[in-house]
A and B are shown apart, each in its own frame.
Chain A
Amino acid sequence: MFDRQKIEEIAKERERWEKSTLPNWIKQCPERQKEFKNHSGMTIKGLYTPEDIKDMDYMRDLGFPGEYPFTRGLHATMYRGRLWTMRMFAGYGTAEDTNKRFKYLLSEGETGLSTAFDYPTIMGYDSDHPMARGEVGVCGVAISSLQDMEVLFDGIPLDKVTTSMTINGPASVLLAMYIAVGDKQGVPREKLGGTTQNDNLKEFFAQKLCIFPPQPSLKLSVDIIEYCARYLPKWNPISISGYHIREAGATAVQELAFTLYDGIAYVEETLKRGLKVDDFAPRLSFFFASHNDFFEEIAKFRAARRLWARIMKERFHAKNPRSMWMRMHVQTSGCTLTAQQPLNNIVRTTIQALAAVLGGTQSLHTNSFDEALCLPTEESVRVALRTQQIIAYESGVANTVDPLAGSYYVEALTNEMEEKAMEYIQKIDDMGGVIPAIEKGFFQKEIADSAYRYQREIDEKKRILVGVNEYTIEGEEIPVKLLRVDPSVEKKQIERLQKLRRERDNRKVKEVLEKLHYAAEKDENLMPTIIEAVKAYATLGEIMDVLRKVYGEYKELIII
């Protein structure tokens, strides 16, 4: 990218500068720290020059947006053509409550729906299961049957919106319910657009919502990828996630590497079913976090795009450029938000959202400032949405593609991110892949160590958290209004469920559940049978119980 001679000249001048101008200045004004490192462990220099990227080749390493290796963006015009989707994660209480919140967000300008389910639903329990006691509707919407799903999307035409569903173990069931609602609305299945998170691998070492052991969990994820490749061309069957890995304590490099490796595992597994890579890869999508270290995050997003493109081309020999696209959704970080002086979180979320936009995300959720206290109120979620709108319309950053390209720092950091992620990928390859690594506790140990190191840094004040270990308010009173979920939600749900079980055709339910059991034992793709089951109003818990019987339940490997 640079003329060799010019680089040598600059190097000479830089050495001179380091011997004279720099030390003179440092004498008057010493640096704030002995050395500056980001949390991934990379040393941050005081100054970056063309030397730091002298081996880069514009066409090989950056290219043009919309072309391999896609470092600068997936689309030729990016946000000049279409802004990222503003997709706010929402859900609490009953389906009616969440339906209301969905409509509120759409009216305030969000451009895509994103569903948060409550813990019982996420773990595959009906609202009246003993393990659901106290948890129904508390941190997401309670969905136990197709009936609830119909209420959730009442008045929301599924051919006019795309919906993301954060659901993993029971993803097949929720997707089946969504399809059934679409059928009822008369929307052709090929028109249904949205995403099921459906990334069961990361559950084992990050989000911990694992229900079944690793092998059957992987099978269920790939069932959905395979089914969508054939019947739901607009649906993203999977959102390969790094967000939870990062929130569990991983560094940005680990988030990048482990997520990409999960992606590799899903591709390999799907290929084993006889599909060709270009048949399904275009619909794989990804989900990352955006944390506070502004440039580290931007570098991470750009490195992710380039690295995935290279992996798809070189490792999996994809031919269709769309198979090489790393389409990502980003959520600003929850764990960096503080309970102390919560209004400060608006600032944090803004920095993190800006990084995601400068990193070229396709879709973005911004957290509300009361996230560390409770679920967001209408007011706080509106501010979060406005944050995205202000960035989009007032800051100007969306008016050109990949504005930070060419920055010596950002490009050097992007290169280093990619390098370090590749080291991890090689390591996991050497271990025999993702499942052996999970069983050895490799990811869990890396994450636990990073999490512990982070906490030590805060405890020792090596890392400042404004409002928490510095600039605190003595005897602070938190003035914000909190969202509390009405405890009668649980009662309502239980009554509704009991009524459903009385009024449906129980013989039909029994029949289809037996069919499901048989299909699971024969290792068939379970989607068609699950769709049949939800249409007969078998409940989520009943369907999951069949699978629990066949696959067994999983007990995690704990590494602190």
Chain B
Amino acid sequence: MPEISEIAKGVLAGDKRSIAKAITIAENSPEEAQSLIATIYPHTGKAHIIGLTGPGGAGKSTLIEKMVREYRRRGKTVGVIAVDPTSPYTGGAFLGDRIRMQELTTDNGVFIRSMATRNNPGGIAKATKDAVKILDASGKDVIIVETVGAGQSEVEIIKVAQTIIVIHAPGLGDEIQAIKAGIMEIADIFVVNKADRENADKTVMDIQAMLQLDNKEKAWTPPIIKTVALTGEGVPQLIEKIEEHWRYLQKGALHKRSLEKAEAELVEAIKEKVTSSIIEKLKREKRFEEILRRIVEREIDPASAAEKLLNQILE
């Protein structure tokens, strides 16, 4: 296995094998990932990160394929990360999103990677963020992250994006209301795909109604774009809107969001490091089991135990 520094060098040079290996490291080895990310981090921050989520059957993968083609036509390079759920029973995952994008596989300006949630919401969110950084550092102009909008962890994943697109389609049996709250609120653009269907306009109206209920003052009003992903209809307009959002973000909102993201990541990183180092220390000093026993036997409650421990350690 090549050295981390070799891989990092490869990532910065845009070498696909290195990018692939780097993402694997991000998924599996936190220590090596940290060292890798540290090396490439100064080269990130250039890409436009787009999140795309929505119910199964809405046509996400088909739409992404058309979006990537449109970006390629405009001379941009694209990275795609497709996230699929891991089976809670078997621990395995079926990663089938690339099927719709397979013709793009041999385009040198496109990199597609499938990732499984591995039943670890915190883990996949971090791994996805790292994968995005890797693709960013490798020089991709646009990075698209795709998830199925089915759970709370998907909301976490999609927050890595600067422009969040929520896609829906008529006749899926999912009422608009069923789209997870949390996703509706952070959407920057709505897409109604399969717009050639009869009830497409009703879906548009349902989304408009939902948006009107939200009476927060918004500087950016999320537009609703109609597309027919199968034929590509509406996709150039969608890309235009995404570019428009990008320009809007540059005026100040991007910086604000970047600060918020940096804070969230920093806090998460501190939490992770503090927690693991404390637990390690306790286990090393063989105090861990003792504390657990006391909690179970109701001698002390967990919050008080934590406070006590922290006070002891911080002395």
A and B co-occur in one complex? yes
Q: How far is the CB of B260 from chain A (nearest CB, A)?
A: 38
Q: A555-B99, A560-B94 are in contact. Are A440 and B57 (CB under 8 A)?
A: yes
Roughly how many angstroms separate A552 CA and B62 CA in the complex, as a whole number? 13
Roughly how many angstroms separate A440 CA and B94 CA in the complex, as a whole number? 18
User: In this complex, what residue of B is CB-closest to A432?
Assistant: B171
Contacts of B96 in A (CB 8 A): 558, 560
Roughly how many angstroms separate A440 CA and B231 CA in the complex, as a whole number? 19
Per-residue interface assignment for chain B, residues 24 to 57, with 1 indicating a CB less than 8 Å from any chain A CB and 0 otherwise: 0000000000000000000000000000000001
Contacts of B100 in A (CB 8 A): 555
Q: A213-B230, A552-B230, A552-B231 are in contact. Are A558 and B57 (CB under 8 A)?
A: no
Contacts of B102 in A (CB 8 A): 555
Which A residues between 540 and 560 are near B, CB-CB below 8 angstroms? 552, 555-556, 558, 560
Contacts of A555 in B (CB 8 A): 62, 99-100, 102
Roughly how many angstroms separate A270 CA and B86 CA in the complex, as a whole number? 44
Roughly how many angstroms separate A560 CA and B93 CA in the complex, as a whole number? 11
Roughly how many angstroms separate A552 CA and B230 CA in the complex, as a whole number? 9
Interface size on B, residues (CB 8 A): 10
Q: Which of B62, B99, B230 contacts A558 (CB 8 A)?
A: B99
Contacts of A441 in B (CB 8 A): 57
Contacts of A560 in B (CB 8 A): 94, 96
Q: Classify the secondary structure of A's interface with B.
A: loop
Roughly how many angstroms separate A107 CA and B94 CA in the complex, as a whole number? 51
Roughly how many angstroms separate A439 CA and B171 CA in the complex, as a whole number? 11
Contacts of A213 in B (CB 8 A): 230
A-B contact count (CB 8 A): 16
User: In this complex, what residue of A is CB-closest to B97?
Assistant: A558
Per-residue interface assignment for chain B, residues 227 to 255, with 1 indicating a CB less than 8 Å from any chain A CB and 0 otherwise: 00011000000000000000000000000
Roughly how many angstroms separate A405 CA and B102 CA in the complex, as a whole number? 53
Q: Could you say which interface size class chain A belongs to?
A: 10 to 19
Per-residue interface assignment for chain A, residues 359 to 372, with 1 indicating a CB less than 8 Å from any chain B CB and 0 otherwise: 00000000000000
Which B residues between 164 and 195 are near A, CB-CB below 8 angstroms? 171
Contacts of A552 in B (CB 8 A): 230-231
Contacts of A558 in B (CB 8 A): 96, 99
User: In this complex, what residue of B is CB-closest to A560?
Assistant: B94
Which A residues between 402 and 446 are near B, CB-CB below 8 angstroms? 436, 439-441
Roughly how many angstroms separate A439 CA and B230 CA in the complex, as a whole number? 12
User: In this complex, what residue of A is CB-closest to B56?
Assistant: A441
User: In this complex, what residue of B is CB-closest to A213?
Assistant: B230
Contacts of A556 in B (CB 8 A): 99
User: In this complex, what residue of B is CB-closest to A441?
Assistant: B57
Contacts of B94 in A (CB 8 A): 560
Q: How far is the CB of B235 from chain A (nearest CB, A)?
A: 14
Q: How far is the CB of B220 from chain A (nearest CB, A)?
A: 33
Which B residues between 60 and 106 are near A, CB-CB below 8 angstroms? 62, 94, 96, 99-100, 102
Roughly how many angstroms separate A556 CA and B96 CA in the complex, as a whole number? 11
User: In this complex, what residue of B is CB-closest to A558?
Assistant: B96
Roughly how many angstroms separate A436 CA and B62 CA in the complex, as a whole number? 17
Q: How far is the CB of B57 from chain A (nearest CB, A)?
A: 7
Which B residues between 122 and 173 are near A, CB-CB below 8 angstroms? 171
Contacts of B62 in A (CB 8 A): 555
User: In this complex, what residue of B is CB-closest to A440?
Assistant: B57
Q: Chain B CB within 10 Å — which of A436, A439, A555 has the most?
A: A555
Contacts of B171 in A (CB 8 A): 436
User: In this complex, what residue of A is CB-closest to B96?
Assistant: A558
Roughly how many angstroms separate A558 CA and B96 CA in the complex, as a whole number? 7
Roughly how many angstroms separate A39 CA and B94 CA in the complex, as a whole number? 26
Contacts of A436 in B (CB 8 A): 171
Roughly how many angstroms separate A213 CA and B102 CA in the complex, as a whole number? 17
Roughly how many angstroms separate A393 CA and B99 CA in the complex, as a whole number? 52
Q: How far is the CB of A515 from chain B (nearest CB, A)?
A: 24
Q: How far is the CB of B232 from chain A (nearest CB, A)?
A: 9
Roughly how many angstroms separate A560 CA and B94 CA in the complex, as a whole number? 8
Contacts of B230 in A (CB 8 A): 213, 552
Roughly how many angstroms separate A556 CA and B230 CA in the complex, as a whole number? 12
Q: How far is the CB of B90 from chain A (nearest CB, A)?
A: 13
User: In this complex, what residue of A is CB-closest to B57?
Assistant: A440
User: In this complex, what residue of A is CB-closest to B173?
Assistant: A440
Roughly how many angstroms separate A555 CA and B102 CA in the complex, as a whole number? 10
Contacts of B99 in A (CB 8 A): 555-556, 558
Roughly how many angstroms separate A555 CA and B171 CA in the complex, as a whole number? 21
User: In this complex, what residue of B is CB-closest to A553?
Assistant: B103
Q: How far is the CB of B39 from chain A (nearest CB, A)?
A: 38
Q: How far is the CB of A554 from chain B (nearest CB, A)?
A: 9
Roughly how many angstroms separate A560 CA and B102 CA in the complex, as a whole number? 18
User: In this complex, what residue of A is CB-closest to B169?
Assistant: A439
Roughly how many angstroms separate A213 CA and B100 CA in the complex, as a whole number? 13
Per-residue interface assignment for chain A, residues 213 to 225, with 1 indicating a CB less than 8 Å from any chain B CB and 0 otherwise: 1000000000000
Roughly how many angstroms separate A560 CA and B230 CA in the complex, as a whole number? 22
Roughly how many angstroms separate A441 CA and B99 CA in the complex, as a whole number? 15
User: In this complex, what residue of B is CB-closest to A439?
Assistant: B57
Q: How far is the CB of B172 from chain A (nearest CB, A)?
A: 9
Q: How far is the CB of A437 from chain B (nearest CB, A)?
A: 12
User: In this complex, what residue of A is CB-closest to B230?
Assistant: A213
Q: How far is the CB of A398 from chain B (nearest CB, A)?
A: 48
Which A residues between 195 and 210 are near B, CB-CB below 8 angstroms? none
Which A residues between 142 and 201 are near B, CB-CB below 8 angstroms? none
Q: How far is the CB of A552 from chain B (nearest CB, A)?
A: 7
Contacts of A439 in B (CB 8 A): 57
Roughly how many angstroms separate A253 CA and B196 CA in the complex, as a whole number? 34
Which A residues between 273 and 305 are near B, CB-CB below 8 angstroms? none
Contacts of B57 in A (CB 8 A): 439-441
Q: Chain B CB within 10 Å — which of A436, A441, A556, A558 has the most?
A: A558
Interface residues of B (CB under 8 A from A): 57, 62, 94, 96, 99-100, 102, 171, 230-231
14 A-B contact pairs sorted by A residue (CB < 8 Å) = A213-B230, A436-B171, A439-B57, A440-B57, A441-B57, A552-B230, A555-B62, A555-B100, A555-B102, A556-B99, A558-B96, A558-B99, A560-B94, A560-B96
Known A440-B57, A555-B100, A560-B94; 13 more pairs at CB < 8 Å: A213-B230, A436-B171, A439-B57, A441-B57, A552-B230, A552-B231, A555-B62, A555-B99, A555-B102, A556-B99, A558-B96, A558-B99, A560-B96
The 8 closest A-B pairs by CB, nearest first: A558-B96, A555-B100, A558-B99, A560-B94, A213-B230, A552-B231, A555-B99, A552-B230
